Structure 1
Amino acid sequence: MGIRKNYRDLSLAERRVFVGALRHVKLTGLIDQFATIHSSHFGHGIHQSSHFLPWHREFILRFERALQAHDASIALPYWDSTRDRSPDDPIWGDDFLGPFNAEWGLGRKLSEPPNLPTEDMVEANQRQTSYAEFWPGLERPIHNWPHSWVGGVMGRANSPGDPVFFLHHCWIDFLWARWQTNNPNAPFQESQAGLGLNDPLMQWPDRTPADVIDYRLLGYSYDFELVA
């Protein structure tokens, strides 16, 4: 089982493998296909709804598997934007995601308002005890603000065209997984008809939130589970 961890904890070798896989999915057009999928469903239930978290869990899982087809050792890393809040942080360095800005024409700004979320905001959201209260607070503003802060492609419907999208959404999934671990009996609650636990996810009619609700069954875990 792959362990998803903070990108800061990747070894130099792991960073090189990850960056190489990103270049591969760009050269083959795969990352652009992911951007198109996200863009085509942008206003149709994958945001501002109870399907926001399960849809993106499935989405980044499929991207992770595309990377693993290039190198099976890869586990998607995450970017914790409560800790890495500066354009000078290593995530934007020349040995990681920095060069993609110019190479792929991403137009990043790395300081656009609003600011990045804080640890206090995250912890307040983690204290919610129902899914109906948890997911809106996670999506707005904890999820939304980093999209705006990075700017460029990350602020548009085709945001998966910037690879930092996947590290950001891996962190959002990390926060959902952590909340699920602390609230194991909290049921999934639909925000409206057609967006329930057993309703199909946009793009994948054979997949539902029920299929992804237990992330451990999807073949990955998170580094927070390594802490005793």
Structure 2
Amino acid sequence: MKGLLFVLSAIFGITLAAPATCTPERALVRKEWRELEYAERKDYIDALWCLRDRPSILPSEEFPGVRDRWDDFVATHINYTNNIHFNGLLLPWHRQFVYLWEVALREECGYKGSVPYWNWALDTENLAESPLFDGSSTSLSGNGAYVPNEPMPCTPGGICFPRGTGGGCVESGPFKDLQVHLGPFNSSLAQSYGSLPVNAWNYNPRCLYRSLNQALLVALNNQARIDQMQTSTNIRDWLAIMSPSNPDLTSSHGGGHGAVGGAMADFFASPQDPSFMLHHAFIDKLWAEWQDQDPETRRYAVNGTTVIYDPPGAPVVTLDTMVEFGELCHPRKVEKIMHPLRNGYCYIYT
């Protein structure tokens, strides 16, 4: 997985499977975490641990820090970060990425459910008491231990928010003993045409760390902001709220990552936090619902380039753009990723 986003490589991994004829009635239903029964939450948690116990499919000589199937997804995200964020590929790439995670859970771990999602707006009143982060046995674990010298989160342009409430190792819940293996990565590595450091794939085991940040969630992931996004009339305006290509601006995408903090706020290695897929499933839900408001003009609407921050002269994303996922699956054309009920996908959201 050494090449750029559009260089084809030898492909192994997940088989894309869906009903021969997909209809909303036959589709897999993705639910908000609170809508799951306690047993269903535990099933999802167990399936994540199953991925941790399964062997990696990545070549160990190239990725020495990758130790299991969960790490396969982390490494893939790291490898493509500078091509799949704050640009025209954020939405289609992560739609496929979440789907591949779901398929792995179901086909490799016997999981019967779907990937849940996290509706940020439901937690703007008290993030620490959220069923996702309250540290109970049916949560995705709680906050990290308080670290006094944690810095404030700031954009490159100097927009800063109050620091989080933790910063150290997660202390409670099903993932308090989870180790993360890759990173951390400095956010300065996120740059147009940037490259990864030579030690990017080193094995660096340490605890899962978090710093829940209510202020970020209130500012960037509230219901009014979601409503503004969903009433946008074109994809450019929608993305200007969700994930603008100007790094100096704030974004709802970034707000969700920052509100969890710690490993989730690592721009490159954020899939190491169990909440990552739920965050991106909600982004996908919002995108799908926005598309459904006007399928004729929105279903295949794209905007941006294939390079982070959409620099001048970067290749423009079209429906014919091929996106890669390394060893996880074959390259896919953007056109084939635009509909949750077509081309191998068969899922809906509550």
Mark yes or no: TM-score above 0.5: yes
Match of 1:96 in 2: 139
Report how many aligned residue pairs link the two structures. 222
Tell me which of 228, 239, 248 is aligned to 1:124.
228
Greater relative contact order: 1 or 2 (C-alpha under 8 angstroms, separation 6 or more)?
1
Instruction: List alignment gaps of at least 5 residues for structure 1.
Output: 224-228
Match of 2:122 in 1: 83
Given that 2:45 and 2:174 are in contact with CA atoms closer than 8 Å, whether structure 1 keeps it comes out as no
Q: Does 1:136 align with 2:219?
A: no
Instruction: List alignment gaps of at least 5 residues for structure 2.
Output: 1-26, 55-67, 142-172, 179-206, 245-250, 306-314
Tell me which of 83, 86, 100 is aligned to 1:62.
100
Larger radius of gyration: 2
Given that 2:137 and 2:174 are in contact with CA atoms closer than 8 Å, whether structure 1 keeps it comes out as no
Match of 2:90 in 1: 52
Aligned-partner SS, 1:148: helix
Aligned-partner SS, 2:211: coil
Q: Which amino acid aligns with 2:341?
A: R
| Worse-superposed segment, 194-203 or 111-120 | 111-120
Given that 1:50 and 1:135 are in contact with CA atoms closer than 8 Å, whether structure 2 keeps it comes out as no
Note the C-alpha offset of 1:94: 2.6
Q: Tell me how far apart the structure 2 counterparts of residues 101 and 22 of structure 1 sit (CA, whole Å).
A: 10
Tell me which of 324, 327, 335 is aligned to 1:210.
335
Tell me which of 194, 199, 205 is aligned to 2:321.
199
Q: Which amino acid aligns with 2:285?
A: F
Aligned-partner SS, 2:113: coil
Tell me which of 35, 52, 59 is aligned to 1:9.
35
Closer/same/farther in 2, CA of residues 72 and 112 from structure 1, 3 Å limit: closer
Note the C-alpha offset of 1:72: 4.5
Tell me which of 75, 78, 103 is aligned to 1:36.
75
Tell me which of 235, 260, 266 is aligned to 1:150.
260
Q: Which amino acid aligns with 2:129?
A: D
Given that 2:325 and 2:331 are in contact with CA atoms closer than 8 Å, whether structure 1 keeps it comes out as no
Please, what is the CA RMSD of the aligned residues? Answer: 1.7
Q: Tell me how far apart the structure 2 counterparts of residues 115 and 5 of structure 1 sit (CA, whole Å).
A: 21
C-alpha distance after superposition, 1:79-119 (max 9, x if no partner) = 11111231111112332211255212221111275334110
Q: List structure 1 runs of 4+ shifted beyond 6 angstroms.
A: none
Given that 2:95 and 2:337 are in contact with CA atoms closer than 8 Å, whether structure 1 keeps it comes out as yes
C-alpha distance after superposition, 1:110-153 (max 9, x if no partner) = 12753341100000011111112212322251111011111111
Aligned-partner SS, 2:70: helix
Is the helix fraction higher in 1 or 2?
1
Note the C-alpha offset of 1:37: 0.6
C-alpha distance after superposition, 1:32-74 (max 9, x if no partner) = 1101111111112x01111110000000000000111112521
Tell me which of 112, 116, 124 is aligned to 1:73.
112
TM-score normalised by the chain length of structure 1:
0.91
Residue identity over aligned pairs, in percent, reads 27
Note the C-alpha offset of 1:203: 2.7
Q: Tell me how far apart the structure 1 counterparts of residues 34 and 113 of structure 2 sit (CA, whole Å).
A: 15
| Worse-superposed segment, 203-212 or 138-147 | 203-212
Q: Tell me how far apart the structure 2 counterparts of residues 15 and 189 of structure 1 sit (CA, whole Å).
A: 34
Q: Tell me how far apart the structure 1 counterparts of residues 111 and 335 of structure 2 sit (CA, whole Å).
A: 26
Aligned-partner SS, 1:83: helix
Given that 1:91 and 1:97 are in contact with CA atoms closer than 8 Å, whether structure 2 keeps it comes out as yes
Q: Which amino acid aligns with 1:25?
A: L
Q: Does 1:115 align with 2:217?
A: yes
Closer/same/farther in 2, CA of residues 212 and 113 from structure 1, 3 Å limit: same
Match of 1:167 in 2: 278
Match of 2:197 in 1: none
